[in-house]
Amino acid sequence: MDSIVKTALAEDLGRGDVTSSATIPPELTVEGYFICKSPGVVAGLPYVQTAFRLIDPLVRLEVLLKEGAVVADGDVIAKVVGNARSILASERVALNFLQHLSGIATTTAAAVEAARPYHAVITDTRKTTPGLRMAEKYAVTVGGGKNHRLGLDDGILIKDNHIKAAGGIKNAIDMARRKAGHLLKIEIETETLAEVREAVECGADVILLDNMSLDELRASVKLVAGRALTEASGGITPAMVADIAATGVDIISLGWITHSALPLDISLELS
């Protein structure tokens, strides 16, 4: 976390906050409040704390609403007390993390709620902001979702280009099975019912149902019949989750919750 926040601070500060240096007495102490301007789910407070600590260890952040709290317009999330120059030097980076990660948590929570009547689990994807993957995937968990692969070394997911390069579904699964340890599951992407059938017959542990219609998803779930986990993916938005979950799939993965979530409207106001 420190390295991510340190990079963000260096990007923002450059050679220093010339505005605060020109307008604020060096010893002035102030207090400020992080105020929510729209409803959502709070995520990112550890990043806020880190931003202040890296600039000035004497700045004190008092968390009033814990990580994962559901907030309404006007709720005060946290109070910060310390040197005015230090607080303002950290402000934008602290808010960027808090707003962005809270937006992801809020979007994830909406998807989780939509799937609640069914058994489908909501997960993220690798469609994350370069350099911010761990932070964004953390926010997904705060919103009640689960993490898919953290990186390419985290599991075998055979996608369309792998299948083409390997010479087909059976070849790809067979080669992966020979390489994979007994604890490593094999997931394979499919686009048609015929591919789903082949994947089941070849012993895939998880079958990714890519860009399928609701009818195709229902038919795939019926065909798999519990012999593998089923994962719906491909262009899914939170508005589509309930209908997709109702098809009986086990997992719904959405790049949307990390790459398209709107930041939560939060401000830092000095008193």
Give me the active site residues, please: 92, 127, 159, 189, 210
37, 49 Cβ separation under 8 angstroms: no
41, 105 Cβ separation under 8 angstroms: yes
* Spatial CA neighbour of 92 closest among 179, 190, 12: 12
Q: Is 66 exposed, middle or buried (0-12, 13-18, 19+ CB in 10 A)?
A: exposed
Q: For residues 166 and 127, give the distance between their C-alpha atoms in angstroms, rounded to a whole number.
A: 24
- Give the position of tokens 């609701």: 214
Q: For residues 72 and 92, give the distance between their C-alpha atoms in angstroms, rounded to a whole number.
A: 22
Element (H, E) at 113: helix 84-115
Rg (CA), the chain: 23
Other C-beta atoms lying within 10 Å of the C-beta of residue 22: 7
β-sheet with 29-36: strand ranges across: 60-63, 76-83, 29-36, 266-270
Other C-beta atoms lying within 10 Å of the C-beta of residue 127: 16
